[in-house]
Amino acid sequence: MKQTSHAFMQHAEAALADAGKAQRRDLLGLFMPLARDAATARYGDFEALRAHLKRVRTHTTNHLDHYLARFEEASLRNGNQVHFAATPEQLNNTVLSICQAHGARRVAKGKSMVTEETALNEQLLKAGLEVIETDLGEYIIQQAGETPSHIVGPALHKSLPEIRRLFLDRHKLGERSLEQVEDIVAEARSILREQFLQADVGVIGANALIAENGATMLVTNEGNGDLCANLPPVLIVCTTLERILPRAEDAMALQRLLVRSATGQAQTCYTSFYSGPQRDDDVDGPLETHIILLDNKRTDILASDYSEILDCIRCGACLNHCPIYVGVGGHAYGWVYPGPMGSILTPLLSSLEQSNALPNACTSCGRCAEVCPANIPLPDLLRDLRQEENQRQLNSPRLRRGLRVHAWFLRHPALYRRLGAWTMSVLGLLGRRRGALRRLPFAAGWTGTRDFPAPEGGTFMQQYRNRARGGRRRG
């Protein structure tokens, strides 16, 4: 997937102009937070669970080399083959070499953000392999030639009529209506079932790696992960090295946080643990299993001030609660990871030069930090990236001048308060007739699409002092 994060503003403008998609995003931003809040409230002491996982993840990343060694040892003992990939190219080449060693022609893939990050599908297709995405959302956007717009629901940007037309066009199955969601799901199931049966290699991701027993955990709602893992003779698990957890009970703690935060469910339909290839007394399972652990700058991130972003469990809660994401959608971010977590992770995995617009796609409302199940201080990390952007002079000279002027006034609080009070008075007078201002110097980005509300009284500090004195102000 080609990165176009530098064009965030252009993408955002185009997204805002699409009324249909904007309406669907509004519904996402309305209902998903309600579902998450209801699920966490039913759990009980959700905050204690968050704090527990935070301690576990901090301990694990502080001793990552120890737990990776334990995982590798246990995984090899289970009969797996473990590979380490420093770069996306190394992961893709490892997958391709495994496929070629087995003469594979067809690959069935489960949902995997890691393989989106490495553009694995493009590499396999160039080599002449047939690759089919088996998660329904991923399958839909693969057929449409698009990329995911959400890390949990890849096809949330597609409407039912769009999917219906897509299936009628892509599936040559004769006359049919496909008027109901059930009809579309049934058609996808019938087509994908054959792909599972014909696949030579299955590729899946992992939500957790368990150091004590060498197993991988995968959470899904469709069961396609199990079919990819058990029907083809060769299984490849592609994940990243920070997915490691010490114990199985830690993985289940993560699962309880993940599911409630991602979809508002108490449990997903499938939580699967894969230990290794088929044993003599097993009735099914792959004959050969490979686990590929990708670094791709994560050890550098671990040693930086941004290490807490590696605690992200990919639930998508920060996206669902972010007014910027809900406003412009995932494609505006121009790469694999959108929303607040993507605005941090993308500059770290690529470069701040390529994606310096993303850390600025933030209102500093703090909702992402409030709901993050991993207790990641997302607004703080975004602010630190903006500070680094300014220090490295990656932002515009005009903005840097404005920041310097603002900083000077902040160092002179008495002058700042007087200027603020004068500005509020002038704006209040100018806008008293309509209650709003259609144009405002230095604020064309705001007034170009909406009016600026006119102040109705003094500044907060003026009103606070008046109230403290028992006075009253018109407002």
Give tens-digit pLDDT for 325-354. 999 999 999 999 999 999 999 999 999 999
319 three-class SS: helix
pLDDT at res. 225: 96
Alpha carbon distance 344, 337 (integer Å): 9
Domain ranges of the chain: 1-42+316-395, 45-299, 405-468
106: buried, middle or exposed (CB in 10 Å: 19+, 13-18, 0-12)? Answer: middle
**Selected residue with higher pLDDT from 131 and 440:** 131
Q: How long, in residues, is the chain? A: 475
List the structure tokens of 202.
Answer: 């299955």
Alpha carbon distance 21, 157 (integer Å): 6
Least confident segment among 130-144, 370-384, 409-423: 409-423
Banded model confidence at residue 424, pLDDT cuts 50, 70, 90 = confident
Instruction: Give the model confidence (pLDDT) of 292-321 as tens digits.
Output: 999 999 999 999 999 999 999 999 999 999
Banded model confidence at residue 475, pLDDT cuts 50, 70, 90 = very low
pLDDT at res. 435: 86
Beta pairing, strands 208-210 & 106-109:
unpaired
Give Cα 106 to chain centroid, integer Å: 28
**Selected residue with higher pLDDT from 441 and 22:** 22
List the structure tokens of 31.
Answer: 């209902």
CA dihedral 163, 164, 166, 172 (to 10 degrees): 140
pLDDT at res. 471: 54
Give the Å distances, CA to CA, from 1 to 139, 331, 348, 406: 16, 12, 17, 39
Helix 248-262 to helix 19-43 angle (10° resolution) is 130
pLDDT at res. 460: 82
Give the Å distances, CA to CA, from 27 to 367, 405, 440, 461: 17, 40, 32, 37
pLDDT at res. 450: 80
Alpha carbon distance 35, 433 (integer Å): 42
Residues 414-437, mean pLDDT to the nearest whole number: 86
pLDDT at res. 406: 85
Give the Å distances, CA to CA, from 164 to 26, 136, 185: 22, 13, 10
174 three-class SS: coil
pLDDT at res. 433: 82
Residues 80-99, mean pLDDT to the nearest whole number: 98
pLDDT at res. 473: 47
Taking the CA of residue 41 as centre, how many other CA atoms within 13 Å lie in the half-sphere pointing to its CB?
Answer: 6
Alpha carbon distance 57, 309 (integer Å): 11
Instruction: Give the model confidence (pLDDT) of 16-28 as tens digits.
Output: 999 999 999 999 9
Alpha carbon distance 405, 423 (integer Å): 16
Helix 46-62 to helix 248-262 angle (10° resolution) is 130
Alpha carbon distance 371, 112 (integer Å): 23
Spell out the residues 6+ positions from residue 232 whose beta carbon is closer than 8 angstroms to its own.
108, 196, 199, 200, 201, 202, 286
Residue 242: DSSP 8-state: G
Q: Tell me the pLDDT of the chain averaged across its residues.
A: 93
Give the H or E element holding residue 233: none
Tokens 């979809």 sit on residue: 263
Residue 287: DSSP 8-state: S
CATH superfamily of 45-299: NagB/RpiA/CoA transferase-like (3.40.50.10420)
